[in-house]
Amino acid sequence: MESSSPVRTGLRSQATGPESSSTMSVQTTETPLERQLKHLNSQMSQLVTNLDTLNKNVDTMCTQYRSIEELGVIHASLFMAGVKVYEHNLDDNGGNNETNDDD
């Protein structure tokens, strides 16, 4: 049994030897066009990933824009209501009526 183990190991090493050299020959026989196409393919894959990320970011930005717009409307409404209350309190207390001249 000891002799069968080295034989198998020897066969494996011989089997992997030609495979690795054939793999190297495939890599060395690859044309520049094939290399460029593989590189282009990987770049396109990265571009698709980046565009997907951009699309998600634009969707998030649109949602945030709508929320900020609503917040601005609420802020302006509160400001106008505050001015009306302040003017009304000035009129009731006999304050200066210069603010009502514009109405």
- pLDDT tens for 61-73 read 999 999 999 999 9
- What mean pLDDT do residues 3-22 have? 49
Q: What is the DSSP letter of 4?
A: H
Residue 16: per-residue pLDDT: 52
Which of 75, 95, 78, 76 shows the shortest CA–CA distance to 87? 95
For residues 27 and 35, what is the distance between their CA atoms, to the nearest angstrom?
Answer: 10
Residue 28: per-residue pLDDT: 66
Map tokens 């969707």 to a residue: 59
